[in-house]
Amino acid sequence: MDMRALGRSGIRIPPLMFGGNVFGWTADEATSFRLLDRLLEAGFNAIDTADVYSRWAPGHAGGESETVIGNWLKRRGGRSKVVIATKVGMEMGTAEKGLSRAWIMRAVDESLKRLQTDYIDLYQAHRDDEETPLEETLGAFAELIGQGKVRAIGASNFTAERLREALQTSARLNLPRYESLQPLYNLVERAGFEAELEPLCRAEGVGVISYYALAAGFLTGKYRTEADLGKSPRGGGVKKHLNDRGMGVLKALDEVAVRLGATPAQVAVAWVVARPGVTAPIASATSLAQLEDLMKAARLTLDPAAIDQLDRASAG
């Protein structure tokens, strides 16, 4: 399988990172274990999570996803064969949040305990914290790398301006730099990434692990009218795509899928995988059937005609 370098970190991952936001939430521990076992068996070894997953669910406090992954690692073993990415910075219910040194140092130890591991492969700033100097945040990450608790660091949900400033700060002070960016990116939400972030990441050699490759399910094709929005609790999040452009993208996905013997969802993920500068999209599954679908997507090769058709349908 094609393994891709994550920035200049030395970490290599397959062209799909599994989204662990579902673990301990919409996928219980037994289901999560089956998904993780199958993922590894198929050669996909990269898992993305966060300390805050799944604090939004009733009765949850955060840390549920990391705990499930940790229990699985303890049972399965083979830690060195798995790439674990987690995040810090979101509010965890104690009013503590952000990217201060004090919070990062506490949060990393709590994540390591839940994950039942000595190190995190990729530790990401979940969102920017403009109230904390970049020097303080990057200095804290440097300490963690020096202690062996973290292999590399990444940024999530940063603007191009702030990512550029962070990279310049790292270079100026000889501190570790963000080796990856985690942005929102898919066929119907392109401009936010492509305008400034994509050229910056390509110029600086920053890896990109994008999220929402299926636009909250819209690109699966199951939402085509307002009546379809009631099919899922996530339906409200796709209403904004029910317009001429969105319908044009679905039409192109349908046509390419038929020609390639694939599904629209597989084609949508494969388009992100094929995008220059994208290291790997993140995608989640709550069943083995969904997981198999995602893994087929990561291995699906789109020909130039398919990419051109999808690019034209989704432009603008």
Q: Residue 65 burial (CB < 10 Å; 0-12/13-18/19+)? A: buried
- 84 near 92, Cβ under 8 Å? no
Residues 53, 178, 185, 212: which is the catalytic one?
53
Question: Is residue 119 annotated as part of the catalytic site, yes or no?
Answer: no
Residue with tokens 């995608």: 283
For 213, counting Cβ atoms within 10 Å of its Cβ (0-12 exposed, 13-18 middle, 19+ buried), the class is buried
Residue 75 CA: distances (Å) to CA of 119, 138, 230, 256: 17, 34, 39, 42
Q: What is the DSSP letter of 49?
A: -
Instruction: Yes or no: say if 185 and 204 are a contact pair by the CB < 8 Å rule.
Output: no
DSSP state of 302: P
**DSSP code of residue 161:** H
* Catalytic residue numbers, as ranges: 53
